[in-house]
Structure 1
Amino acid sequence: MFDTVIVVDWSGGNDRGPTPKADAIWACVARSGTPEAPVYLRNRQVAEAWIGDMLQAERTAGRRVLAGFDFPFGYPRGFARAMAGSDDPLALWDWFAARIEDAPKANNRFDVAGAINRSLGTNGPFWGNGLKRDVDGLPRTKVGYQNPFAERRRAEKLAKGAFAVWQLSGAGSVGSQALMGLPVLARLRQRFADDLTVWPFQPLDAGIALVEVWPSLIAPEIAAQTMPDEIKDAAQVRVLAQALSALPPAEMEAMLADGDAQEGWILGLGHENALRAALTPGDPVPPPLSNDCFALPPGVAWTPVDEALALLQERLTPVARVETCTVQQALGRVLAAPVTALRSNPPRPNTAVDGYGFAGGRDAGVHVLPLTDGRAAAGGDFDGTVPAGHAVRVLTGAALPAGVDTVVLQEDVTVDGGRIAFNGPVKAGANSRRAGEDVAAGDEILPQGRRLTPADLALLAAVGVGTVQVFAPLRVGVLSTGDELSEAGSDAGATQIYDANRPMLLGLLTRLGHEAVDLGRVADDRSALAAALDGALDGAGVDAILTSGGASAGDEDHVSALLRDAGAMALWRIAVKPGRPLALGMWNGTPVFGLPGNPVAAMVCTLVFAAPALGLLAGAGWQAPQGFEVPAGFEKSKKPGRREYLRARMRGGVVEVFRSEGSGRISGLSWAEGLVELPDGAAVVKPGDPVRFIPWGGLGL
């Protein structure tokens, strides 16, 4: 029915500034179940212009548009006639448009509401003066409040948690959103007078349909699919736009068959299951990266390592989809949502040893207790209660029978017929485990973004978790470039070298937990490179690409040139050694990391820059390298200006570095067990001085 869906999260407040913030205006465009990146609109003037231009562009392209706004389109019966002299709610829109004055930093909504209350001779229906000054006729609270109309529309009575349209300030002040939003919609109706209708007030026989939406209809699904660090308002418009645009036509028709032609209606109310089904549970579509996410600030030339890392961390967001898998399949996967314990561990009090159980502790001295018939064993359930002053045989892991809270080891007990004897003191609760002393039911046991280890799988199983929400593995393509390259094992020409980067990078990606995709080699030919990148997206379906070679600014540096021609490339001259400029760009919305061709520099740049960035794209969050200070077993003097990474390993309690710093010495990578990181400034290192050593494990390998 509709080619394009636009969902807008509105605000009744003032300009929120240039930096994206919560409680502002956010919008998202989606087509066929695929949303674009949410758009931040700092004030209503910017929003009105953006929405109008977007509607115009979509109609020019021949696409039919459903535009949803999250504020009420109508009021309880009688209000429109009392104000505008007509039951037509659209007449009320025009009435508001003639009276509401709006600027980025101020508006008159409270004064208009006070004037309405006074015209009705009451202190209602509006309430919630959010100004420091008093407004005649507009109460600040509902104390002594009188409303001549119904408190809620029929839709709000059915929508659990929906707020009344009369509230103008505080949490849930949709009244202000409606007062400031309806004039905008009235002007859109004028702009597209011959091609716009409003549901459910008019037949949907035009190219643009305005509808009222409420993201909270699918609040759990939105919460589950909110990306780490994503602003809630942005997630709301993204997920709801995705759901509405993915609906089968029959489901959309069923939703549009509902409504109230006087009060308005929330699209999807009563059809929440259809919206959830349209999201394909466990397989949400993440927001795409913007094409300028790698752009450096104006005037930046050489970028310090920490600044480069901060820019990557700030600008990248997860792109991996979410899916459900069993615990048995979850090793190495990244959690897309926190996991809580379904039951306690241990679920019941139990014994930690083989022995004899009884109630309470015992003082010093000899203690003799009669034995109760039977025993408690792991997996069994003792029938009955152990009487006070009696003991019972218990085996390791058994649930403690009723009447037992303390256990004495069998090695400390003498059994004589139906009695046991042991020496005290024995502390109450000895050799037993409390229910939930490890984990209590409902506790969060693993956070979102954790890459699951074998120990994590044991914890999940122990607390009854059988399936988890995880990010799909990030598919990362590896492409080598250069006429000089030859495949390992082949007959290389005299002027050729073997491609060492591709197997190294594929191995690094696998060890980092990603799905490595071999994209092969491509010659120094721009058209061939473009075709290879297209094939990586269309055929291999990769989420990111690592290239090696051609990343600088020379005649044969086709990676950087191609990305620059595409209008989405930044050549980052990072102050790092080893390493040359790092070409970062976007190819049809997919991030490309253009690494140096030298294997040593390629590996260092991958571990220092690409690895944490890919982890963030994969949903694991930003993982900083984990190193520690150790005594140096070498001498080194460095100039200021660049951070240096030396191939290193630990021997005899000190860290030693490879005999040569030459970036062509590939053998040093195999020799090393990690990197020594030397600071940006000048440094003189002597044997015994503390230096920072980052083992391969601290870099995620």
Structure 2
Amino acid sequence: MTGFDSFLVVDWSASAAPAPARPSKDAIWLGLVQGGTPQDPLYCRTRTEAEARIADIIAGERAAGRRLLVGFDFPFGYPIGTARRITGSDDPLALWDWLEARITDSDTGANNRFDVAEAMNARFDDPGPFWGKTHADRWPGIPYRKAGIDYTEIAEKRACDVAAKAASSCFQLCFPPTVGSQMLMGLPMLSRLRRQHGARAWPFDDWQDAPTVLAEIWPGLIESAVTSALGAGAPIRDAVQVTLLARALSRLPAADLNAMMTDLPQAAQQEAWILGTGHESTLNDLAGDDAPPAPPPLRDDCFAMPAGVDWTPVDDALATLRAGLHPVVRPAHCNVPDACGRILSAPAIARRANPPTPNSAVDGYGFAHDSLPPGDPVLPLVSGRAAAGVPYDGTVPPGHAIRILTGAAVPAGVDTVILEEDTRTGAGQLAFRAGIKRGANTRKAGEDVDAGAELLPKGRVLTPADLALLAATGLGVVEVFERLRVAVISTGDELIEAGGAANPGQIYDANRPMLLAQIRAWGLEAVDMGRIPDDRAALRAALDDAASRADVILTSGGASAGDEDHVSALLSEAGAMQQWRIALKPGRPLALGLWQGAPVFGLPGNPVAALVCTLIFARPALGLLAGAGWQEPQVFHVPAAFEKSKKPGRREYLRARIRDGRAEVFASEGSGRISGLSWAEGLVELPDAAATIQAGDPVRYYPFGSFAF
């Protein structure tokens, strides 16, 4: 299942009376981002009305084929031990059902939550753990204050409450801040949503493939964003909270959200967990008005070939990749000194001109050309000088000259500079030969770059020289794409780690270090997922982990259609797999698909074929996914230093290098000869059609460096 398409955030209430007809605080508010589009917040006066609206939204999103995450602002579970005391089971969902069978509610808001809480307290030997009530003389089994309650057997707060620094305990039923009563009135509703509408509860249920997932959230995680919005004049805090939190969740990359939902402590299986705990800064940034939206997910058919295609020509395969992919990373900000290798997410615009003012190109003397006397000039020198960073504070009178150094701003009254070596000075005067041209040895303001000019386009991979240009024009921060995260998985029972003792039939894993190094060389973030045996369950778990940690997954091995080709089998099970039979040598099988929204490139297991497929197919695709656009490698036409005759039908790539201006190829074309990869400095490309190459014939040569970002 891919990431979520829609996000609903619910601010719940335990009020004993309907909220006012006019939208107000302390009511029930729903914030919705539907299919990527934010909706106006919904106001509900009663829990009955809110539950009906939530059910309608769930049904509507399911009918539209959109996956929905529903967040509620009350705890989904109690501290460990509570459920067993009350139901006899550690299953928190059993307590949901127990509460649903006992809690009564009405359209007017009247309910029996204190009666039920008193019955729950009766399951414990000591007073509590529930406390707080509206009337000190009612429900004697509920202490009015917390004083005297012993939280030794059952903790007062859950692990996530402590981690999120939540102020209230789920045992507190009255007196702000409180969530205890909200919880008693909310958990029965969640039980009904599970039973009646097929929703699944995170993290208790098997939720990964569910079309509707219920999750616990807490608006306090985005307090700074909410405070900022309220300061801008937003009217109702509750409406702002649900709107901003739904927006923040919708802008999270699917892999990041999946990581938040899977990387949990053991206690979460009984106590639940507040989604986003530990990621407050990220959520606040994404909730802001200036936060960029998450890129749209890739389509499940982004790798689909036209019907009837069997053997796919290389150019057709590349065209399919180019048409089906788009950037999957979010824009970010980066300090210019740290930006080398980063990809611009927006054009870089000069903040000021370079040079910012007219300045001297040499050490010498400046004057106004129109004020020069006839013949060889002799000009009086003004006191002072102009130096770089120390401009002359004044105007040079006509017929006078001033000492000026390289890079210094040209003072007022000066338009020409003469080189020091072409002058004589003495007695406060300057002498030189006639004939100097107006404007000599000066640079005009903006003659390199004007203020406001576009320096570099969106998609540019920044070089060291680019950083100099950005800095010179006043830019300290640039807008870039976040680094594309690429996970690498090697598959096969036969693989062992390099350096270990190999048994008969075992080989060292050569692909993983090669691919990880290549990814890093391209300036991307490499995520090493290790070696996975030929075990489908283990590979499924590795793919799940990789999709939660990375934007793209590269696997090697298992991409064909044999009994142990688990990569292609699992992608087929996921319903988003294309088995490409590329008319290519080396590297015919290429499995492509989506795993939980992350594109997967199933490369051949042979190292030579794996590298060739990475360079020819994965490299341009990764550039597109990373925001750099589709980039063709630079090709050179050079004479061949070899002879070869090839049959029609497949494009061939030969390991090659340039010597004495000619392309020589590796002695063996065997795809198992890894030494040829180290020997080579590039690839010679032979066409799809039949070809006979004689020494001296022009061939297409791609240096490995031309595949760089």
TM-score > 0.5, shorter chain as reference: yes
Q: Equivalent residue of 1:665, what SS?
A: coil
C-alpha contact (below 8 Å) 2:639/2:695 kept by paired residues: yes
C-alpha contact (below 8 Å) 1:338/1:444 kept by paired residues: yes
User: Does residue 468 of structure 2 align to residue 468 of structure 1?
Assistant: no
Cross-structure match for 1:589 = 597
Q: Equivalent residue of 2:377, what SS?
A: strand
Q: Equivalent residue of 1:334, what SS?
A: coil
Cross-structure match for 1:312 = 321
C-alpha contact (below 8 Å) 2:387/2:405 kept by paired residues: yes
Superposition deviation, residue 441 in structure 1: 0.6
C-alpha contact (below 8 Å) 2:61/2:68 kept by paired residues: no
Q: Distance in 2 between matches of 1:509 and 1:689?
A: 34
Superposition deviation, residue 402 in structure 1: 0.6
Q: Equivalent residue of 1:561, what SS?
A: helix
Q: Distance in 2 between matches of 1:62 and 1:464?
A: 45
Superposition deviation, residue 630 in structure 1: 1.5
Cross-structure match for 1:555 = 563
Superposition deviation, residue 346 in structure 1: 0.6
Q: Equivalent residue of 1:380, what SS?
A: coil
Cross-structure match for 1:73 = none
Q: Equivalent residues in 2 for 1:425-440 (5 A)? A: 425-440=435-450
Superposition deviation, residue 422 in structure 1: 2.1
Q: Equivalent residue of 1:513, what SS?
A: coil
Superposition deviation, residue 290 in structure 1: 1.5
> What TM-score, normalized to structure 1?
0.62
Q: Equivalent residue of 1:478, what SS?
A: strand
Q: Which amino acid aligns with 1:594?
A: G
Match for 1:302 among 304, 307, 311?
Answer: 311
Q: Equivalent residues in 2 for 1:227-266 (5 A)? A: none
CA RMSD of aligned residues (A): 3.5
Q: Equivalent residue of 2:337, what SS?
A: helix
Q: Equivalent residues in 2 for 1:12-27 (5 A)? A: none
Superposition deviation, residue 543 in structure 1: 0.5
Q: Equivalent residues in 2 for 1:358-373 (5 A)? A: 358-360=367-369, 366-373=376-383
Cross-structure match for 1:537 = 547
Cross-structure match for 2:254 = none
Q: Which amino acid aligns with 1:299?
A: G
Percent identity for Structure 1 against Structure 2: 62
Distance 1:663 1:61, change over 3 A: closer
Cross-structure match for 1:335 = 344
Q: Equivalent residues in 2 for 1:67-216 (5 A)? A: none
C-alpha contact (below 8 Å) 1:282/1:323 kept by paired residues: no
Cross-structure match for 1:54 = 60
C-alpha contact (below 8 Å) 1:294/1:585 kept by paired residues: yes
Superposition deviation, residue 367 in structure 1: 3.0
Q: Equivalent residues in 2 for 1:21-40 (5 A)? A: 36=35
Q: Distance in 2 between matches of 1:64 and 1:598?
A: 45
Cross-structure match for 1:169 = none
Q: Distance in 2 between matches of 1:642 and 1:59?
A: 41
Q: Which amino acid aligns with 1:642?
A: R
C-alpha contact (below 8 Å) 2:487/2:526 kept by paired residues: yes
Cross-structure match for 1:691 = 699
Cross-structure match for 1:412 = 422
Distance 1:507 1:414, change over 3 A: same
Cross-structure match for 2:655 = 647
The total of aligned residue pairs comes to: 473
Point out the more displaced range, 330-339 or 274-283.
274-283
Match for 1:500 among 488, 491, 510?
Answer: 510
Cross-structure match for 1:615 = 623
Superposition deviation, residue 63 in structure 1: 8.5
Q: Distance in 2 between matches of 1:339 and 1:500?
A: 40
Q: Distance in 2 between matches of 1:534 and 1:38?
A: 28
Q: Which amino acid aligns with 1:542?
A: A
Distance 1:248 1:394, change over 3 A: closer
Superposition deviation, residue 558 in structure 1: 0.8
Q: Equivalent residue of 2:623, what SS?
A: helix
Distance 1:527 1:494, change over 3 A: same
Q: Equivalent residues in 2 for 1:317-396 (5 A)? A: 317-360=326-369, 366-396=376-406
Q: Distance in 1 between matches of 2:651 and 2:601?
A: 20
* Cα deviation code 1:316-340 (max 9, x no counterpart): 0111122112112211111111110
Q: Equivalent residue of 2:326, what SS?
A: coil
Q: Distance in 2 between matches of 1:480 and 1:363?
A: 82
Superposition deviation, residue 419 in structure 1: 2.0
> What TM-score, normalized to structure 2?
0.62
Q: Which amino acid aligns with 1:453?
A: T
Q: Distance in 1 between matches of 2:225 and 2:7?
A: 12
C-alpha contact (below 8 Å) 2:344/2:480 kept by paired residues: yes
C-alpha contact (below 8 Å) 2:225/2:287 kept by paired residues: yes
Q: Distance in 1 between matches of 2:477 and 2:235?
A: 36
Q: Which amino acid aligns with 2:328?
A: V
Q: Equivalent residue of 2:480, what SS?
A: strand
Q: Distance in 1 between matches of 2:471 and 2:295?
A: 29
Gaps of 5+ in 2: 1-5, 10-29, 39-56, 72-192, 194-221, 238-242, 248-282
Distance 1:352 1:509, change over 3 A: same
C-alpha contact (below 8 Å) 1:480/1:501 kept by paired residues: yes
User: Does residue 651 of structure 2 align to residue 624 of structure 1?
Assistant: no
Distance 1:357 1:320, change over 3 A: same
Q: Distance in 2 between matches of 1:288 and 1:549?
A: 26
Q: Equivalent residue of 1:518, what SS?
A: strand
Q: Equivalent residue of 2:433, what SS?
A: strand
C-alpha contact (below 8 Å) 1:37/1:288 kept by paired residues: no
Distance 1:63 1:439, change over 3 A: closer
C-alpha contact (below 8 Å) 1:34/1:285 kept by paired residues: no
Superposition deviation, residue 637 in structure 1: 1.7
Q: Distance in 2 between matches of 1:687 and 1:364?
A: 70
Distance 1:283 1:55, change over 3 A: closer
Cross-structure match for 1:527 = 537
C-alpha contact (below 8 Å) 1:363/1:425 kept by paired residues: no
Match for 1:441 among 428, 438, 451?
Answer: 451
Match for 1:578 among 573, 577, 586?
Answer: 586
Q: Equivalent residue of 1:520, what SS?
A: strand
Q: Distance in 2 between matches of 1:338 and 1:312?
A: 25
Distance 1:256 1:581, change over 3 A: farther
* Cα deviation code 1:511-543 (max 9, x no counterpart): 1111001100011111111011111123xx111
Cross-structure match for 1:196 = none
C-alpha contact (below 8 Å) 2:342/2:483 kept by paired residues: yes
Superposition deviation, residue 680 in structure 1: 1.6
User: Does residue 678 of structure 2 align to residue 670 of structure 1?
Assistant: yes
Superposition deviation, residue 620 in structure 1: 1.0
Q: Distance in 2 between matches of 1:632 and 1:368?
A: 67
Distance 1:424 1:692, change over 3 A: farther
User: Does residue 497 of structure 2 align to residue 491 of structure 1?
Assistant: no
Gaps of 5+ in 1: 7-30, 40-50, 66-206, 208-243, 259-266
Q: Distance in 2 between matches of 1:613 and 1:354?
A: 52
Q: Equivalent residue of 2:560, what SS?
A: coil
Point out the more displaced range, 510-519 or 628-637.
628-637
Point out the more displaced range, 366-375 or 442-451.
366-375
Superposition deviation, residue 56 in structure 1: 7.0
Superposition deviation, residue 453 in structure 1: 1.0
Q: Distance in 2 between matches of 1:644 and 1:363?
A: 75
